[in-house]
């Protein structure tokens, strides 16, 4: 079977199922695991490089308002690959090629590839996508084992957090200009990690917040997990965030509990590394209770 993945989380799931050798094409954002780098790239972005976060937000807002795509399918190599299975998404047009664009493109492809749309908005949905992909790829037993492994890690963190009486109020920010809180799975991760979410609820989408809302929420802990940005790029926005009026009055500042984490790798993609995100956050919140598993990076404190 020849599999094409058009979003990073699906690529990670495909490889987690042991199907890397069947993966023949990926999106321009698929960068993990390292073995997928070099595969034919089947999407491109219309967002120019070099924009700051405010410019990106304005461009994305205008494009969506005008019903214009943010990404394009690169049809020629997709046609040549003749995939049997295409994995895409219909959850967020800001995150990847839309499911509608893929549906329109199917008519140009030889044969009739199966298309699997992934739309996870919570951790259990992510586990369900394991089952869905395993069924589509004909590796149901592998899927059962992989799901059980991920579920076991989630359950371990949840069981330890249940014993925590004093849970700090936590804000997770996935964009800084303007401010957006982390949505969908983020409040659930905060809760399972031993915190109390300041914003949002499980499965609700990310919401724009103004500075006054953050001041009024006065979180004891802040995680900065910028959507689509690695650590190096995130630091550019963090420096401006630290200079905002009223920042010094936040409890998270006096508690020196402001953490930068790799949003692109761990928190933004609804795939298996959300479990890594849970373990990273749990360790940052309660290091004596949640030991950091080997191989995972610590959350980086940005003030001391």
pLDDT score at 99: 67
Classify strands 258-260 and 179-181 as parallel, antiparallel or unpaired: unpaired
SS3 state at 235: helix
pLDDT score at 91: 58
Please report the domains of the chain, with CATH numbers, ordered by start residue: 3-119 (3.40.50.1980), 162-301 (3.40.50.1980)
Q: Estimate the crossing angle of helix 8-16 against helix 123-137, to 10 degrees.
A: 60
What are the E-state strand segments in 155-245?
A: 169-176, 179-181, 196-197, 208-209, 221-224
pLDDT score at 95: 61
Regions of the chain short of the pLDDT cut 70: 90-96, 98-99
CB 129 within 8 A of CB 122: no
pLDDT score at 92: 57
Strand partners, 123: none
The pLDDT tens digits of the residues spanning 214-224 come to 999 999 999 99
Of 118, 143, 117, whose CA–CA distance to 130 is shortest?
Answer: 143
22 CB contacts (<8 Å, ≥6 apart)? Answer: 1, 2, 3, 14, 137
Measured distance CA(41)–CA(35) in Å, rounded: 14
pLDDT score at 20: 98
pLDDT score at 255: 87
User: Looking up tokens 């371990």, which residue turns up?
Assistant: 156
H or E element at residue 260: strand 258-260
State pTM to two decimals. Answer: 0.93
């Amino acid at each position: 079977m020849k599999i094409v993945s058009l979003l990073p989380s699906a690529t990670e799931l495909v490889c987690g199922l042991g199907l890397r050798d069947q993966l023949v094409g990926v999106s321009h954002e698929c960068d993990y695991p390292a073995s997928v780098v070099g595969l034919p790239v089947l999407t491109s972005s219309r967002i120019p490089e070099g924009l700051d976060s405010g410019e990106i937000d304005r461009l994305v807002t205008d494009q969506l308002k005008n019903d214009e795509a943010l990404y394009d399918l690169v049809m020629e190599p997709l046609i040549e690959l003749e995939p049997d299975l295409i994995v895409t998404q219909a959850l967020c047009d800001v995150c990847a090629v839309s499911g509608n664009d893929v549906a329109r493109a199917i008519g140009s492809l030889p044969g009739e590839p199966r298309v699997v749309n992934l739309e996870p908005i919570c951790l259990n949905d992510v586990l369900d996508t394991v089952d869905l992909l395993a069924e589509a790829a004909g590796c149901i037993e592998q899927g059962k084992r992989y799901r059980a492994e991920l579920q076991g890690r989630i359950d371990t963190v949840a069981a330890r957090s249940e014993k925590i009486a004093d849970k700090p109020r936590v804000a997770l920010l996935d964009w800084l200009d303007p401010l957006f809180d982390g949505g969908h799975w983020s409040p659930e991760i905060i809760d399972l990690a031993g915190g109390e979410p300041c914003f949002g609820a499980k499965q609700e989408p990310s919401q724009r917040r103004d500075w006054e809302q953050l001041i009024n929420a006065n979180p004891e802990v802040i995680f900065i997990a910028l959507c689509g940005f690695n650590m190096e790029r995130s630091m550019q926005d963090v420096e401006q965030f630290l200079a905002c009026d009223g920042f010094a009055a936040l409890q998270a500042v006096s508690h020196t509990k402001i953490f930068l984490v790799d949003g692109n790798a761990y928190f933004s993609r609804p795939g298996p590394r959300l479990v890594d995100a849970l373990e990273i956050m749990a360790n940052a919140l309660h290091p004596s209770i949640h030991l950091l598993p080997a191989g995972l990076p610590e959350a980086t404190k940005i003030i001391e």
